[in-house]
Amino acid sequence: MKNLRITVNGTAYDVQVEELGASSAPAQAAPAAPAAAPAPAAKPAAPSGAAGSIVIKAPMPGTVVNVVVTPGQAVKAGDDLVFIEAMKMETPVKATNDGTVATVEVAKGESVDSGKVLVTLN
């Protein structure tokens, strides 16, 4: 058993992890997961135009559960742009101004930190 301390969102947890005899196979599988991460490939597709002058950021850390706008779409102040789930509650992130969506910087299922740029508007 190994004793480890893991910090999640600023909270430290002490855990015990059992090292199995076949640990060499999972160790090889672990590096394969980051290599297969498609998130960087999705990023170039998101900015279809220049970034907008109005930046909409995540109000809290969480997981993006729905993106309801696309680049080029016209929005009004108060329209829903993205929904973030945190602690089993969905929170809508709304447009602060009227405008046109310039870029969508996140995708459904992506984890975001507080302050992460979600959408830019012109």
Q: Write the pLDDT tens digit of every residue in 72-106.
A: 999 999 999 999 999 889 999 999 999 999 999 99
The structure tokens 């910087």 sit at 105
CB 64 within 8 A of CB 7: no
Q: How many residues does the chain have?
A: 122
Structure tokens at 79: 């329209």
0.85 exceeded by pTM? no
**Segments making up each domain of the chain, as ranges:** 2-35, 46-121
To 10 degrees, the CA torsion angle through 113, 114, 115, 117?
A: 50
Domain 46-121 matching CATH 3.30.930.10: the answer reads no
Question: What is the layout of strands, in order, in the sheet containing 62-67?
Answer: 89-94, 80-86, 62-67, 111-112
Q: Write the pLDDT tens digit of every residue in 44-83.
A: 333 444 677 889 999 999 999 999 999 999 999 999 999 9
CB 36 within 8 A of CB 90: no
